[in-house]
């Protein structure tokens, strides 16, 4: 396994002083996709006041208890027109489906949570409910992904904490890259990539963060966003995960969110690529990144390199983030 990078140095004249800035171009060790780590940190706003938006959006939020039971779209194929429930978590169909089976998981009753207010139980109840739903799927090959966009900088149109489940016969572009690359790695090396990655990162030590129940956590070598962390479960397939494994994943997610909160972030994206129905070469993996803090006048951190080049640009080194999170772990 190779952790490859290129170094470029930019020289600019500011007044009478020459400033040098180092750019690291890193290659993802599985897909070889590139990310750029820019050492010069631009001004990024800290958490601002958007209490008005929190209160105003409550009045029309489709996921709040006052409306969700009347407005929730119901699946007719595998859920028999029901809304699935576990404690505060609710699962129902997506009004705007992205695939053959497309669901929304409302995580909790609260309309808004600070990142340090998310609890293990929120995610544990939600992921358990998703497992119950997936057990109803018909036979066949599906690509299953579980995602979360929290607040507008992450692309969410609804503030209320929720996740999305996409179950498709056709993979997304990046899921396909992971699938093909992992298959090639497995055929050459005789083990799945994520198992080898954990072993290598533990050996190096710079990006390995720690573990929760049956789950290892590390900072991504070639990050796809700010402070990109990866959770690698012991169990390959999401549907086969027991309560201890699910709890380990959820505990790690909460720890990462607490770290983001400590760094003045309040918005994030998460994606769980499930290893079910794909093959022995693939292992379920959890990816989470912070997004530009949401405030009254926020700006978006996705610009042309990502939209057109599919290349991430970040300003924090994974080794630094891993060290900081490890202190809080």
Tens of pLDDT, residue by residue over 228-283, are 999 999 999 999 999 999 999 999 999 999 999 999 999 999 999 999 999 999 99
Question: Greater confidence, 272 or 72?
Answer: 272
* pTM attached to this predicted model: 0.94
Task: Enter the tokens of residue 274.
Answer: 């499930």
Instruction: Answer positive or negative: Cα dihedral of 196, 31, 271, 191.
Output: negative
The residue among 140, 174, 151 whose CA lies nearest residue 267 is: 151
Query: What does DSSP say about strands 267-273 and 143-150: parallel, antiparallel, or unpaired?
Result: antiparallel
pLDDT band at 209 (very low <50, low <70, confident <90, very high): very high
The residue among 28, 287, 267, 230 whose CA lies nearest residue 156 is: 267
pLDDT in tens, 24-67: 999 999 999 999 999 877 666 555 678 888 899 999 999 999 99
User: What kind and span of H or E run contains 126?
Assistant: helix 120-134
Please name each of the domains of the chain with its CATH number: 5-38 (no CATH), 51-328 (3.30.428.10)
Instruction: Identify any residues that bridge with 13 across adjacent strands, giving them in sequence order.
Output: 18
**Are 269 and 234 in contact, with CB atoms under 8 Å apart?**
no
Residues across the chain? 329
Q: What burial class does residue 11 get, using C-beta atoms within 10 Å of its C-beta: 0-12 exposed, 13-18 middle, 19+ buried? A: exposed
| CA-to-CA dists, residue 13 to 8, 19, 20, 37, 315, angstroms | 17, 6, 9, 21, 21
Any idea which residue has 């066949």 for tokens?
A: 140
How many whole angstroms separate alpha carbon 310 and alpha carbon 35?
9
């Amino acid at each position: 396994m190779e952790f490859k990078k290129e170094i470029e140095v930019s020289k600019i004249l500011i007044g009478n002083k020459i400033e040098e800035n180092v750019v690291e171009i890193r290659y993802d060790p599985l897909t070889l996709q590139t990310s750029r780590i820019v050492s010069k940190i631009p001004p990024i706003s800290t958490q601002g006041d958007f209490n008005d938006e929190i209160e105003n959006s409550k009045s029309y939020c489709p996921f709040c208890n006052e409306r969700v039971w009347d407005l929730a779209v119901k699946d007719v194929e595998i859920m028999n027109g029901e809304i699935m429930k576990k404690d505060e978590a609710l699962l129902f169909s997506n009004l705007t489906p992205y695939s053959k089976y497309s669901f929304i998981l409302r995580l909790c009753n609260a309309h808004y949570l600070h990142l340090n207010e998310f609890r293990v139980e929120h995610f544990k109840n939600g992921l358990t409910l998703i497992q119950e739903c997936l057990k109803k799927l018909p036979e066949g090959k599906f690509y299953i992904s579980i995602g979360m966009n929290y607040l507008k900088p992450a692309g969410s149109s609804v503030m209320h904490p929720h996740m999305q489940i996409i179950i498709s016969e056709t993979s997304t572009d990046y899921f396909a890259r992971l699938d093909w690359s992992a298959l090639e790695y497995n055929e050459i090396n005789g083990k799945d990539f994520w198992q080898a990655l954990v072993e290598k990162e533990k050996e190096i030590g710079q990006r390995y963060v720690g573990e929760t129940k049956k789950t290892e956590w590390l900072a991504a070598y070639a990050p796809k966003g700010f402070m990109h962390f990866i959770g690698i479960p012991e169990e390959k397939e999401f549907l086969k995960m027991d309560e201890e494994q699910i709890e380990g994943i959820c505990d790690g997610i909460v720890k990462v969110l607490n770290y983001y909160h400590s760094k003045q972030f309040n918005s994030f994206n998460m994606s769980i690529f499930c290893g079910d129905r794909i093959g022995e070469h693939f292992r379920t993996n959890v990816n989470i990144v912070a997004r530009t803090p949401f405030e009254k006048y926020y700006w978006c951190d996705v610009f042309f390199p990502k939209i057109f080049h599919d290349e991430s640009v970040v300003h924090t080194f994974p080794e630094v983030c891993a060290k900081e999170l490890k202190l809080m772990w």
